[in-house]
Structure 1
Amino acid sequence: MGYSIDVYDHNFEEEVLEKSYEIPVIVDFYAVWCGPCQMLKPILEKVAQEYDCIVAKLNIDENQSIAQAFRVEGVPDVKIIRNGEIIDGFVGVLPEPQLRELLVKCNIKSQLDEKLDAIRQELLAGNRSKVAELFASLLTQYPEHRRVLIEAAKFYISEDKLEKAEELLSPIQMDEREFFAEAQAVKALIQFKAECVNPSGNGELESKFSRACCLTLDGEHESALQLFLEIVETDRQFKSDGARKAMLSIFELLGNNHPVTKEYRKRLMMVLY
């Protein structure tokens, strides 16, 4: 895990240039009066918590010598320094997903991503008690991190700890565009769990809907989507359009670029229109 630090003209060489030979340094040239700077600030603070790097914040109004030396003309101006040299950067507010792509390009590693990958490996190996231990540690270390909350909620749903999952997802609000839709999709898994365990009826469509919910929980997304699609074709209004909504939730869980999403989104459009 990296850290965030305020730097000044007098310690810039020591805290930024010298440290950059040990670990990448992201320098945030900002101004107190700058609105976009305040928007970027929490994103960079998150980076400092997650990545093997230093986030060095420099107020250009109080440290004009360094700002001039780096030819800063507008803020926020972010420069990534490694081995004493600028290797990349940007001016303005870069959306978090694009910032993460830039960090990958600069070979700056996320400790959180590495820990989540380790959890996935333990899940594949069937070491669920170890996974529970790792998630407990992550939730202590990153108690408000949305990715951690969402991934932990998925795990607790698979462990039948539905109240715990709902509790983890509750802080994620509608204005958090990057995470809200996925959080809602994970909440749908809680409903799928209920339908899988206790189907709401005995008819053919109820049985098919319940089976599709169970398949979703087992990670058999393509088979689940096929069943949900058949329900949409048979009775669009079944469970208040529940099959179509279930498909949209699975699309969100898989991501828009997943080949199964692309295929079944196309099939759903053909059925609907």
Structure 2
Amino acid sequence: MSERTDSAEPSTSIVELEDDSELDDILELEATVLVDFYADWCGPCQLMEGTVEAVAETVDAPVVKVDVDAFPHVAARFDVSSIPTVIGFDQGAPTDRLIGMQEEKAVRQLIA
């Protein structure tokens, strides 16, 4: 999905996963989704938070944050064994993933 080009102020589209079915609903409704798997205790995840927020503010796609401690079965479903892991989805299917610390440009490319 492309970056916003209008002059209107983009809204942050970060969704903190709150229940098991929420991610499936978002993947079903949205053409492009970025999913950030993290844990509160993870230093690299904390450092990536600003990058993920910056991407969310400028793209027309939801960014879903999944706490792997609260939702280990969701992480397992997508074969997430290291964090941070960011996965891009297109039409409900994972397209590519980044593991570990990443630059903003690399994260953007997941949903470009």
TM-score range (shorter-chain normalised) is 0.7 to 0.9
Within 5 Å, give how 1:3-42 maps onto structure 2: 3-7=13-17, 8-15=19-26, 17-21=27-31, 24-42=32-50
Which string of whole-angstrom CA distances, capped at 9 and with x for unpartnered residues, describes residues 215-248 of structure 1? xxxxxxxxxxxxxxxxxxxxxxxxxxxxxxxxxx
Is the 1:30–1:57 contact (alpha carbons within 8 Å) kept by the matching residues of 2? Answer: yes
Is the 1:80–1:88 contact (alpha carbons within 8 Å) kept by the matching residues of 2? Answer: yes
TM norm structure 2: 0.81
Amino acid at match of 2:30: S
More strand by share: 2
Q: Which runs of 4+ in 1 moved over 4 A?
A: none
Within 5 Å, give how 1:116-135 maps onto structure 2: none
In the alignment, the residues of structure 2 paired with residue 12 and residue 77 of structure 1 have an alpha-carbon distance, to the nearest angstrom, of 16
Q: Report the CA distance between 1:18 and its aligned residue.
A: 1.1
In the alignment, the residues of structure 1 paired with residue 75 and residue 104 of structure 2 have an alpha-carbon distance, to the nearest angstrom, of 24
Q: Report the CA distance between 1:97 and its aligned residue.
A: 3.3
- Figure out how many residues of one structure are paired with residues of the other and give that number: 101
Q: Is 1:95 the counterpart of 2:93 in the alignment?
A: no
In the alignment, the residues of structure 1 paired with residue 96 and residue 48 of structure 2 have an alpha-carbon distance, to the nearest angstrom, of 17
TM norm structure 1: 0.35
Q: Report the CA distance between 1:19 and its aligned residue.
A: 2.6
Within 5 Å, give how 1:1-273 maps onto structure 2: 1=10, 3-7=13-17, 8-15=19-26, 17-21=27-31, 24-100=32-108, 102-103=109-110, 106=111, 108=112
In the alignment, the residues of structure 1 paired with residue 55 and residue 80 of structure 2 have an alpha-carbon distance, to the nearest angstrom, of 22
In the alignment, the residues of structure 2 paired with residue 98 and residue 58 of structure 1 have an alpha-carbon distance, to the nearest angstrom, of 19
In the alignment, the residues of structure 1 paired with residue 67 and residue 81 of structure 2 have an alpha-carbon distance, to the nearest angstrom, of 13
Is the 2:55–2:104 contact (alpha carbons within 8 Å) kept by the matching residues of 1? Answer: no
Gaps of 5+ in 1: 109-273
Q: Report the CA distance between 1:65 and its aligned residue.
A: 1.5
Amino acid at match of 2:89: I
The match for 1:252 is none
Q: Report the CA distance between 1:20 and its aligned residue.
A: 2.9
Bigger Rg over Cα: 1
Aligned partner of residue 47 in structure 1, secondary structure: helix
Amino acid at match of 1:5: V
In the alignment, the residues of structure 1 paired with residue 104 and residue 88 of structure 2 have an alpha-carbon distance, to the nearest angstrom, of 16
Is the 2:33–2:64 contact (alpha carbons within 8 Å) kept by the matching residues of 1? Answer: yes
More helix by share: 1
